[in-house]
Chain A
Amino acid sequence: NIVLTQSPATLSVTPGESVSLSCRASQSISTSIHWYQQKSNESPRLLIKYASQSISGIPSRFSGSGSGTDFTLSINRVESEDFSIYYCQQSYSSLYTFGSGTKLEIK
């Protein structure tokens, strides 16, 4: 199975800062990585697909990059509504896996 390792587990930031969240795959997965946001007591929401492709309705401050084994979700100037948990997920293998998540919290 493909293992996804997200870091850091928790990221404490001040609103207005820009941040980068990391997701590393245990083997090369091309660009078959997707990012989700999950706010407290809500269902996950797709933010970015195929490493860097934007999703309709998602603010432009969210962007993704990477290929192979290393991927990054960037948030330009974090807003208060962005404090939540972020997961990466691979679809390279039909046995899908998720990373363990990065919690973005207010400093």
Chain B
Amino acid sequence: EVQLVESGGGLVQPGRSLKLSCAASGFTFSNYYMAWVRQAPKKGLEWVATISTSGSRTYYPDSVKGRFTISRDNAKSSLYLQMNSLKSEDTATYYCARLKLPGYPFAYWGQGTLVTVSS
């Protein structure tokens, strides 16, 4: 059974940093592209980052480019999101999601971890 379990969320002050983790199990992690998708409270879904199987290619929307970094450790079947210079508008539940390749849908989602940016 595919499982994605996020951790690392919490309350952080504006301008500070936070690193999220996603532990994957039930599939060969190194064979899949992975992504982060977020959802602000009572709002819709927003794609945040995608990473290739080897980690050599990454993609970001303009809203987080230069502040967020997605990475992975295939030996540990783990996905990460380093978030720097956090803003109040980054407050959201962050989901880890699996996709097979670019162009594929997000077939599996974690339960999410809440990040609150506030002073």
A interface with B by C-beta (< 8 Å): 1, 32, 34, 36, 38, 43-46, 49-50, 87, 89, 91-92, 94-101
Give the segment of B8-16, B24-32, B45-53, B81-89 that binds chain A: B45-53
How many Å from the CB of B44 to the closest CB on chain A? Answer: 5
Chain A interface main SS type: loop
**Would A43 and B110 count as touching, CB distance under 8 A?**
yes
Listed by A's residue number, 13 A-B pairs whose Cβ atoms lie within 8 Å are A1-B61, A34-B105, A34-B106, A36-B45, A46-B106, A49-B105, A49-B107, A94-B50, A95-B59, A97-B47, A98-B44, A99-B44, A100-B44
- Residues of chain A within 8 A of B110, CB atoms compared: 43
Contact B102 A44 (CB under 8 A): no
Measured in the bound complex, the distance between the Cα atoms of B61 and A38 in whole Å is 23
Q: Given A96-B50, A98-B44, A98-B47, answer yes or no on A91-B112 (Cβ-Cβ < 8 Å).
A: no
Kindly report which residue of chain A lies nearest to residue B99, judged by CB atoms: A91
Q: How far is the CB of A73 from chain B (nearest CB, A)?
A: 14
B95 touches A91 (CB 8 A): no
A95 CA to B58 CA, complexed, in Å: 11
Q: Which residues B66-119 have CB closer than 8 A to chain A?
A: 95, 102-107, 109-112
State which of A50, A87, A94 has its C-beta within 8 Å of the C-beta of B102. A94
Q: A43-B111, A95-B61 are in contact. Are A89 and B105 (CB under 8 A)?
A: yes
Assuming A43-B95, A87-B45, A89-B45, is B59 touching A94 (CB within 8 A)?
Answer: yes
Q: Which residue on A lies nearest to B4, using beta carbons?
A: A43
